[in-house]
Amino acid sequence: MQKQNNLLIFILTIGVFGIINTEMGVIGILPSIADHFHVSISKAGLLVSLFALAVAVSGPTMPLLFSGMNRKKVMLLVLGVFVLGNIVSIFTTNFTLALVARIVPAFFHPIYCSLAFTVAADSVSKEEAPKAVSKVFIGVSAGMVVGVPIVSFIANAASIEMAMAFFAIVNAIVFLATLIFVPSMPVEEKLSYGAQLSVLKKSITWLSIVAVILLNSAVFGVYSYLTEYLKTVTNMSSNTISLMLLIYGGANIIGNIAAGKLLTKNANKSVVIFPFALGAVYIILFLFGKFTIPMAILTLIWGILAGIGGNINQYWIMSSAPESPDFANGLFLTAVNLGTTIGAAAGGLFISELGTQYVVFVGLLSLLLSSVMIFLRNYKFTPTQQLS
For a pLDDT cut of 70, what percent of the chain falls above it?
98
pLDDT score of 69: 92
8 Å CB contact between 292 and 342: no
Is residue 359 within a helix (H) or strand (E), and if so which, with residue range?
none
Average pLDDT over residues 210-219: 96
At 319, the amino acid letter reads S
Contact 263, 270 (CB under 8 A): yes
Per the confidence metrics, is the pTM higher than 0.85?
Answer: no
The pLDDT of 65-78, averaged and rounded, is 94
pLDDT tier at 3, thresholds 50, 70, 90: confident
> For position 164, what pLDDT does the model report?
92
Read off the pLDDT of residues 330-352 as tens digits, 9 standing for 90 and up.
899 899 888 888 888 888 888 88
From the list 307, 4, 294, the residue with the least C-alpha distance to 137 is 307
Would you say residue 379 has pLDDT above 80?
A: yes
Eight-state DSSP code of residue 191: P
pLDDT digits (tens, 9 = 90+) for 140-197: 888 877 787 788 888 888 899 999 999 999 999 999 999 999 999 998 777 778 888 8
Determine the average pLDDT of the residues in 261-273: 93
- What pLDDT, on the 0 to 100 scale, is given for residue 255? 94
The rounded percent of the chain whose pLDDT value lies above 90 is 55
The confidence score (pLDDT) of residue 385 equals: 53
The mean pLDDT of 188-216, rounded to a whole number, is 89
C-alpha closest to that of 340 among 108, 23, 117: 23
205 in Cβ contact with 332 (< 8 Å): no
Q: What is the mean pLDDT of residues 232-254?
A: 87
User: In this predicted structure, what is the pLDDT of residue 300?
Assistant: 96
pLDDT tops 60 at residue 386: no
Average pLDDT, the chain: 90
Residue 116 has pLDDT above 90, yes or no: yes
For the segment 36-65, the average pLDDT, to the nearest whole number, is: 87
Rounded Cα distance, 281 and 344, in Å:
19
Q: Looking at this protein, which amino acid is placed at residue 215?
A: L
Instruction: Specify the pLDDT at position 388.
Output: 46
